[in-house]
Amino acid sequence: MVKKTGGFRRKTRHKLSKPRRRKGKISVKKFFQSFEKGDKVVLNAEPAVQKGMYFPRFHGKTGIIKKKIGRCYKLLIKDGKKEKNLIVHPVHLKKIMV
C-alpha cells in the first residue's frame, strides 16, 4: 500500500502563515479569551500555537460555541450539509459581533 507523506499541516504554506508585521509573540489577551455558550465565532488559526488547532480545511468557517472542555471549546460548524463538532483552543477563535 501507498504510505501518505506529510501530515496535518501539509500544503498550507499560505493558509497557516502570518503577515510579516504580525510575527512575534502572541497576545496573552487572545490566549486567555473566554466565550459563552451560543456565541458565534470564526475559525482563524494562530500558526504559532499548534495545540488545539483544527484541521486547515475549516479555516475561515463560522461556528457556534456548544460548551467548554478544559481549556478548549467545543464548536458546531456546518461542512456542506453535515454538522460537525470541533474542539478548538480559544487562541484560534475570533468572536463575531452580531
Just give the CATH number of 39-88. 2.30.30.70
What's the pLDDT at 37? Answer: 96
Per residue in 7-54, pLDDT (tens digit) is 888 888 998 898 999 898 888 999 999 999 999 999 999 999 999 999
pTM for the full predicted model: 0.88
85 — pLDDT class (breaks 50, 70, 90): very high
Q: What is the DSSP string of the chain?
A: -PPPPS-TTTT-TTTT---GGG-SSPPHHHHT----TT-EEEE---TT--TTPPPGGGTT-EEEEEEEETTEEEEEEEETTEEEEEEE-GGGEEE---
